[in-house]
Amino acid sequence: DIDLGQIRIDMKREGEDITTEEIIETTKIIALKDHMIEITIYERKDQKDSKEKRKLALFIHGGGFIGGDVRTKGNQCRYLAQQSGAVVVSPEYRLAPETPYPGAEEDVLGTIDWLEDNADRFNIDTDKMAIMGESAGGHYYLQIIYYSVCVFFLLCLQFFLS
């Protein structure tokens, strides 16, 4: 038997925090289509009240689709926020097998939609959004890119055929 609970516990090893500046970490519950998920927002303290629109980085944690979480990758997100100056957002997407495909992918896409709808509230520029992930998170990143290219292609095709 596979002990999924033990596998998830073993995946929760946090890296070392190597940030040298204060990073503000905020957790929010956001509403998606028919459920809610938690996101964590990381931003440099010296940029919190900036009047300029800030860059955005969406970081999708890994975990082999069945594990991993935002907290475990928090130090990476803090360091990314410090070094890039971007607001880093990481969604706590639903995991398999409790949530079958495409649940986690819908959570990531829903997070992007939520960020676009709330960009002014957080003073972020979604036109300057980087999307990245590791392991399963990298897979979700590629799925988003593939989905975006397909939608764009279909819109172009529709335009030229009409």
H helical segments located in the chain: 4-10, 74-84, 103-117, 119-122, 136-161
At residue 54, what is the residue type? Answer: R
* Rounded-to-integer distance, Cα 117 and Cα 111, Å: 10
3-class secondary-structure state, position 57? strand
The answer on pLDDT for 162 being more than 80 is: no
Could you tell me the pLDDT band of residue 149, with boundaries at 50, 70 and 90?
confident
pTM given for the model: 0.88
- Report pLDDT for 145: 85
Q: Tokens for 26?
A: 């905020």
Q: Which of 37-41, 135-139, 145-149 has the highest mean pLDDT?
A: 37-41
Residue with tokens 């940029």: 47
Q: 13-60: per-residue pLDDT in tens?
A: 788 899 999 999 999 999 999 999 999 999 999 988 888 999 999 999
Q: 89-107: per-residue pLDDT in tens?
A: 999 999 999 999 999 999 9
